[in-house]
Structures are given as C-alpha cells and as structure tokens.
Structure 1
Amino acid sequence: MGDCTHASAIHDVEPSSLDGCPECIAMGDRWVHLRICLSCGHVGCCDSSRNRHARRHFEITAHPIIASFQPGEDWRYCYADDVLLEPGPVPAHRA
C-alpha cells in the first residue's frame, strides 16, 4: 500500500442512493459494483461498469477517496494518489 495525501477528504457521509447508481438508473443502464465518495456520499458505479460514474464524479469534483459500497467489502481507494488504502468504516449499505 502506498501513501495517500488526502485523508483530510474523508468525512462521515450519507449515501446519495441505496438503490444503486443513480446515473445508471436514470439512463436505464446497468452497473457491476458500487462505490461511495467519502467526501460527499455520492454513490456511483465502478470502473468495471460501462459508465464509470464513480470515476466521473472524481474527475468533476476532485473528491479523491472512494470506498466499496458492496456488502462485506471494506476497502478504500484514492484516485488522486492511485493507491489502495487500509480498510476503514464505510457508510451503511442497503439492507
């Protein structure tokens, strides 16, 4: 694991959606896995998804750190530093 210089961007956030990737839903499209922005709570689809909405959110907002929003996963990733981070608390997943 490398160094991340963006830990201050991590906040206690509420997920923007519990139903999936809002952008994909609006487009009538599908996603593979979900990611949550730890700066604002935006939920978006992963890089393996066609639309890559989580990465697009980073490119638009510069919010650097995401976490997996998949049940049972607790990893984090910093787009800005291109580094996988130590596991940490992630906002509640859908029931």
Structure 2
Amino acid sequence: MNVFPDFGGLDGIGDLKVVIGAMLTIILVVAVLMIIVSAILWVVASSSGNPGLASKGRAGVFVAVGAAALAGCGVAWINWLINLGGQL
C-alpha cells in the first residue's frame, strides 16, 4: 500500500507552492547578500583593529550561513518526510 499526501485535495495548493518557492528564493538571496556585507564588515573591522565590530561581522556571517542552511535543509527535510511516509 502506497501512502502519499494528496496535494491536489486543497484549493489553491499551486499558489501556495509558488509563494513558498518565492519566499525561499528571497531568503537565499538576502542570506547571500548578508554574508557578503557581514564578511566585508568583518574584514574591515579586523584590519582596522576594532574587535567589537569584527565580532558583530563574524556573528552576521554565521547567522546568514545558518539561515541559508535552514532554508535549504527545510526542503530536503520535507521531501525526506514525504518519502518516509510512503514507506510506512
């Protein structure tokens, strides 16, 4: 017996997929821009001897990388759960 979610059972599911795809694209673009800005801030602050600003730049890089990883891993996790449900 194959158990799989009925994605066609709800009205507007196609629009929801488009909205989610657009949000993921925006999240990834903003995360990449934040990585670039934070990395520049980190480098400039480190070279000028400002440890407080350098730590904020480093934290910005790590937060942006984490956000991009969560956005990318969320799609893989949902696909894994759907495939796992089909094996039950």
TM-score of the superposed pair, with normalisation by structure 1: 0.24
Give 1 or 2: higher strand fraction.
1
Tell me which of the two structures has the higher relative contact order, counting C-alpha pairs closer than 8 angstroms and 6 or more residues apart. 2
TM-score of the superposed pair, with normalisation by structure 2: 0.25
Give 1 or 2: higher helix fraction.
2
In our comparison, the structure showing a higher alpha carbon Rg is 2
